[in-house]
Amino acid sequence: MNFLNRLFRAKTEYVYGTAGKMPKPARRHSSGRVECVLWKAGEKGHTSDYWYPIHEDWWHTFKEDPMTKNAELIRSLRQVCLRTKGKSMDEVLQDFIGTMEEAADAMEAQAREIEGLRKDADRYAVVRRGQHWSVIDGIGDPLTGDALDAGVDAVIAAKGAVK
């Protein structure tokens, strides 16, 4: 696996978006902590982005934005380019092209997965309301709303315990 692939795979613990009254690029760590970019690579001679944790009172202003993730991916590529002194331009370009192709493939796969999940959510919403379809439990009572949610969650939990 090349250097750029390792770099991007290491950043999967973050969700990217914006935060604050005047939305700035931000990321939410899997722990819940939110950070904003204080300065970006290339600004004022800096060779890497500097992420600054914002006060938890502002964490609620975080809004996920897939396009911000794409911008961060490109910014990360720029950081890599700044650190590739000594490599030939062809080596850097080949790494860049390979990484961008992988990123494009990953984004297309995510878009297909998201569309499938949206369809599933729409289908479940129709069943959950119980207006056009009925889900019957083992003793013949209809399941709708919270009762249906609890039943589905129980089945998912049971399957998870079996694995």
Euclidean distance between CA atoms 48 and 114, whole angstroms: 31
Q: What is the pLDDT of residues 23-76, one digit of tens each?
A: 778 888 888 888 888 887 777 777 777 888 888 888 888 887 766 667 767 777
What pLDDT sits at residue 94? 80
Encode 79-93: b = buried (16+ Cβ within 10 Å), e = exposed. bbbeebeeeeeeebe
Where do we find the tokens 């996920």?
A: 64
Q: Collapsing DSSP states into helix, strand and coil, what is residue 46?
A: coil
φ and ψ of 34, to 5 deg: -115, 135
Which residue type occupies 96?
F
Structure tokens at 124: 């479940």
Short-list 26, 84, 69, CA closest to 51: 26
Q: What is the pLDDT of residues 124-162, one digit of tens each?
A: 877 777 666 677 777 877 777 788 888 888 888 887 765
Average pLDDT, the chain: 76
What pLDDT sits at residue 4? 52
What pLDDT sits at residue 36? 87
Tell me the pTM. 0.40
What pLDDT sits at residue 8? 52
What pLDDT sits at residue 151? 82
Q: Are 8 and 59 in contact (CB under 8 A)?
A: no
Where do we find the tokens 């439990």?
A: 137
Structure tokens at 118: 């949206």
Per-residue confidence band for 2, with pLDDT thresholds at 50, 70 and 90: low
Q: What is the pLDDT of residues 98-130, one digit of tens each?
A: 778 888 888 888 888 888 888 888 888 777 776
Which distant-in-sequence residues (6+ apart) come within 8 Å of 35 by Cβ? 26, 27, 29, 51, 52, 53, 54
